[in-house]
C-alpha cells in the first residue's frame, strides 16, 4: 500500500501539512456527490515546533475539513485532551 510516508514513534515525520495530489469523487445511491481530499498534518506539540505553529496547523486543517481524525493509538490520556483544548482556545 502506498500513500503518505509515516513512521512510528514520538519524533515527527510530517512537517506542516501535506495534501494528496488526487481528488477522489464519490456518488451515493441517492445521487449526492462528494469530493474527498486527503491531508496529512504533523503531530501537535513536538519539541521542535512552537505553540503558535502547532495551533496554526491544527486550525488550518480543521477549517478546511468537514471530517477530522485525531490519531491517538490505543487510548486517550489527559494531556491529549489538554492539547485539543489549547488548540481550540487559541483559534
Contacts of 41 (CB under 8 A, 6+ apart): 14, 16, 17, 18, 57, 58, 61
In a domain, 30, yes or no: yes
In a domain, 69, yes or no: yes
In a domain, 7, yes or no: no
In a domain, 79, yes or no: yes
Q: Are 41 and 14 in contact (CB under 8 A)?
A: yes
Name the domain count of the chain. Answer: 1
pTM of the predicted model, to two decimals?
Answer: 0.60
In a domain, 65, yes or no: yes
pLDDT given at position 83: 64
Kindly give the confidence (pLDDT) of every residue in the chain, 91 residues in length, as a single tens digit, with 9 standing for 90 and above.
477 776 666 666 677 788 888 999 999 999 999 998 888 887 666 677 787 887 788 788 888 888 777 766 666 667 666 666 665 565 5
Range of the domain at 39: 17-89
Amino acid at each position: 500500500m502506498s500513500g503518505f510516508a509515516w513512521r512510528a514513534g514520538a519524533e515527527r515525520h510530517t512537517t506542516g501539512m501535506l495534501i494528496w495530489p488526487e481528488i477522489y469523487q464519490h456518488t451515493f445511491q441517492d445521487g449526492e456527490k462528494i469530493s474527498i481530499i486527503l491531508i496529512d498534518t504533523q503531530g501537535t506539540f513536538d519539541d521542535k515546533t512552537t505553540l503558535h505553529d502547532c495551533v496554526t496547523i491544527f486550525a488550518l486543517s480543521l477549517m478546511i475539513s468537514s471530517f477530522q481524525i485525531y490519531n491517538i493509538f490505543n487510548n486517550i490520556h489527559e494531556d491529549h485532551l489538554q492539547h485539543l483544548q489549547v488548540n481550540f482556545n487559541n483559534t
